Amino acid sequence: MGGSPEIRSFKGISEFATSPEKVSDYISPLLNFAAEHVPRAKHKETPLYILCTAGMRILPESQQKAILEDLLTDIPVHFDFLFSDSHAEVISGKQEGVYAWIGINFVLGRFEHIEDDDEAVVEVNIPGSESSKAILRKRTAGILDMGGVSTQIAYEVPKTVSFASSQQEEVAKNLLAEFNLGCDVHQTEHVYRVYVATFLGFGGNAARQRYEDRIFASTVQKNRLLGRQTGLTPDTPYLDPCLPLDIKDEIQQNGQTLYLRGTGAFDLCRETIQPFMNKTNETQTSLNGVYQPPIHFQNSEFYGFSEFYYCTEDVLRMGGDYSAAAFTRAAKDYCATKWSILRERFDRGLYASHADLHRLKYQCFKSAWMFEVFHRGFSFPVNYKNLKTALQVYDKEVQWTLGAILYRTRFLPLRDIQQETFRASHAHWRGFSFVYNHYLFSGCFLVVLLAILLYLLRLRRIHRRAPRSGSATTVWLEDGLPSQKIASTL
C-alpha cells in the first residue's frame, strides 16, 4: 500500500474518539485499495483484520468500543471480506511485541529447520518439559523498537530462568509469551518463550517532553530566586547540553516562556538524562525497574528499528552494524557543531532525504537517549557487536504488522498456549479452511481408490498364474509376500 499518497497520509483512528461514526468512512480508501487488488472471487475468502495499538490503548474503554462497533457494523455492508467480531480489536503491547518478533525472524528465515552445520544455533529447553533433552535450532534475533511515545524490547529466553523471589517470578510471567510455530512433524522443536516489555514515556519524543518539563520546573523557579538576588531577568537562557551548539529554542508552559541555548555537550547530556531511566539497584532489571531476563551477549543478535535506525542513519549516516565507539564519536561531533553549519549542510542535502529540521534540532538529544536506553537501560555492554539498526531487511520493511498477518492468518501453523481462547475467537477459521481440507480429502480418496484398483488387478493376474491345487497361502508365498503382510499394507 506504500504507493498511494492518500494512504501514506493516514492518521490513527484514535483521532475519532469523539466522532466514532466517521471511522469506517475515513478508512474506506484503504479498503477500496485492498478490494481493487484482491480478485473479486477471493473477497469472501480473504480475512480482514483491524488491529489497534498505542493510540487506541490510551483511550477510555467506552471510546474504544464505540470506534470498533462502527467498524464492525459498517464494513460488512460495503465489503465482502472475511471480517468477524474477533477481527477488530485493540491489541496489547505484549501482542505487538510478539508480532514484531515473529516478523523479523520470519524474514530472516530463523523458523526454518537447520540445514548447514555452520549455521548459528542455540540450545533450547522446551518450556514445560525441562526434564526432556535439550534440542538445537536456529538462533532467533531479538528486537528493539523506539517510537515517539514508547520503547519496546523482545527476545527469546531459551533456557530455564531462575528468579530471585516469587514476586519477581510472578512479574516475569506477565512479560513472557509462549507459543508454538511448529508444523505437525516438528512441533516441539518450535516452541518459543519470548520476553516482551513495553515502556510508555520512553520513546524519543516523550522522553524529550519529560526532559523539558523537568528543566522548566526547576529553572523557572531558580530564575525567580536569582532575579530577586541579582537583578537578572527570567529571559536568561537555560544552557541545554542536549541541543546543538548555539541553537536557540524555547519552552512555553502556562503562559511562561523558558529560553534555551544549546551547548552541544554530548557526554554532559548523557549524564543529565540518566536519572530519567528510572533504574533501580535491584539485579536483573531494566527501565523503570522492570524485570529483564539475562541476555547471552556473546551468543545473541538484535535488530533496532524506528528511532534506533533514525538516530544512526538520518543524520549520522551510519545505520546498519552498530558500534558504540563510532556512534559516540559521530554524536559528539554533531552536537558540538554550530547550528549555522548544520543548517548549511541541511540546505545542501547532505543528510537523508526524509531528515527534516525537527530531526536536526533534536538529533543530539535523541542520540544520547538512544545510547542510554540501550546501554544503561537494557544493560548492553559498550563492546556489543551484534546490533543492526534497520528500516528494511532483505528489501522488506519489517513491522509488527507482518508478524500479525502471519499469526492471524495461520500462514504458519501457529499454536498459542491458550488454545481455548484461540478456538473461541477464531471459530470462523474452521469454515474458511474447509475448502482447502475438502480438496485434500478428495485427493487422498483418489489415491486410495487407485491403490485398491491396482491391487485387484494384481490379484487377478496372480490368480491366473496359480496352480489349481494350490491353496491361497501357497499363492502368496509363490509371489514372495506372506499373506499377513499383504493385509498390513492395505
Type of residue numbered 312:
T
Provide the pLDDT for residue 279.
87
Residues 57 and 150 in one domain: no
In terms of pLDDT, which residue wins out, 286 or 430? 286
Give the CATH number, domain containing residue 216: 3.30.420.150
Provide the pLDDT for residue 180.
79
Provide the pLDDT for residue 227.
56
Query: How many helices (H) does the chain have, and how many strands (E)?
Result: 18, 17
How far apart are alpha carbons 464 and 187 in whole angstroms? 49
Residue 213 has pLDDT above 70, yes or no: yes
CB 244 within 8 A of CB 342: yes
Strand arrangement of the beta sheet that strand 415-416 belongs to:
320-321, 387-389, 302-306, 142-146, 150-156, 191-200, 176-180, 415-416
How far apart are alpha carbons 172 and 378 in whole angstroms? 16
pLDDT over 70, % of the chain: 72
Residue 225 has pLDDT above 90, yes or no: no
Residues 348 and 405 in one domain: yes
CB 175 within 8 A of CB 291: yes
Average pLDDT over residues 217-229: 69
In terms of pLDDT, which residue wins out, 76 or 279? 76
Strands 392-393 and 142-146, sheet pairing: unpaired
Band of pLDDT at residue 135, cut at 50, 70 and 90: confident
Structural domain harbouring 381: 94-412
In a domain, 407, yes or no: yes
Range among 49-53, 361-365, 401-405 rated most confident: 361-365
Q: Could you read off the pLDDT of 386-406 as tens digits, one per residue?
A: 999 998 898 888 888 988 988
Q: Comparing 217-231, 264-278, 316-330, 351-365, which segment has the lowest mean pLDDT?
A: 217-231
Known binding residues for ATP are: 148-152
Residues contacting residue 315 through CB under 8 Å, at least 6 positions apart: 334, 351, 352, 355, 359, 360, 363
In terms of pLDDT, which residue wins out, 61 or 425? 61
Residues 163 and 44 in one domain: no
Q: Closest Cα to residue 314, out of 261, 367, 269, 274?
A: 367
CB 384 within 8 A of CB 378: no
In terms of pLDDT, which residue wins out, 427 or 372? 372
SS3 call for 252: strand
In a domain, 470, yes or no: no
How far apart are alpha carbons 308 and 72 in whole angstroms? 36
Residues 140 and 250 in one domain: yes
Average pLDDT over residues 241-267: 95
In a domain, 353, yes or no: yes
DSSP class of residue 44 equals G
CB 49 within 8 A of CB 408: yes
Which of 412, 428, 454 finishes a domain?
A: 412
> Structural domain tally of the chain?
2
Grid cell 532467533 is found at: 140
Residues 138 and 269 in one domain: yes
How far apart are alpha carbons 268 and 451 in whole angstroms? 79
Provide the pLDDT for residue 395.
85
In terms of pLDDT, which residue wins out, 415 or 175? 175
In a domain, 478, yes or no: no
Which of 412, 442, 463 finishes a domain?
A: 412
Average pLDDT over residues 248-260: 91
Q: Could you read off the pLDDT of 421-477 as tens digits, one per residue?
A: 333 344 343 333 334 444 555 666 666 667 676 766 666 665 555 444 433 333 333
Residues 75 and 195 in one domain: no
Residues 407 and 274 in one domain: yes
Strands 88-90 and 50-52, sheet pairing: parallel
Grid cell 513495553 is found at: 198
Provide the pLDDT for residue 146.
94
In a domain, 461, yes or no: no
Provide the pLDDT for residue 215.
93
How far apart are alpha carbons 269 and 266 in whole angstroms? 5
* 282 counts as catalytic: no
Provide the pLDDT for residue 41.
95
Band of pLDDT at residue 205, cut at 50, 70 and 90: very high
Q: Comparing 32-41, 166-175, 358-367, which segment has the lowest mean pLDDT?
A: 166-175
CB 238 within 8 A of CB 215: yes
How far apart are alpha carbons 23 and 14 in whole angstroms? 9
In a domain, 460, yes or no: no
pTM over 0.85: no
In a domain, 397, yes or no: yes
Strands 121-124 and 88-90, sheet pairing: unpaired
Provide the pLDDT for residue 349.
94
Residues 151 and 220 in one domain: yes
Average pLDDT over residues 198-215: 94
Cα angle 110, 114, 120; round to 5? 65
CB 48 within 8 A of CB 83: yes
Count of CB atoms situated within 10 Å of the CB of 337: 16
Residues 246 and 271 in one domain: yes
Provide the pLDDT for residue 9.
44
Residue 412 has pLDDT above 60, yes or no: no
Residue 230 has pLDDT above 60, yes or no: no
Residues 326 and 256 in one domain: yes
In a domain, 459, yes or no: no
Give the CATH number, domain containing residue 37: 3.30.420.40
In terms of pLDDT, which residue wins out, 256 or 117? 256
Average pLDDT over residues 247-255: 92
Band of pLDDT at residue 367, cut at 50, 70 and 90: very high
Residues 335 and 384 in one domain: yes
pLDDT over 90, % of the chain: 52
Type of residue numbered 147:
G
Provide the pLDDT for residue 479.
36
Q: Closest Cα to residue 203, out of 83, 365, 347?
A: 365
The distance in angstroms from the start CA to the end CA of the chain is 52
Cα angle 73, 75, 79; round to 5? 140
Count of CB atoms situated within 10 Å of the CB of 104: 26
Q: Closest Cα to residue 99, out of 172, 181, 157?
A: 181
Which of 72, 90, 108 finishes a domain?
A: 90
CB 125 within 8 A of CB 158: yes
**Which position among 45, 69, 96, 397 bears the catalytic label?**
96
Residue 239 has pLDDT above 70, yes or no: yes
Residues 78 and 101 in one domain: no
Give me the chain's average pLDDT, please.
81
The backbone torsions φ and ψ at residue 177, rounded to the nearest 5 degrees and listed phi first, read -115, 130
CB 105 within 8 A of CB 120: no
Provide the pLDDT for residue 431.
36
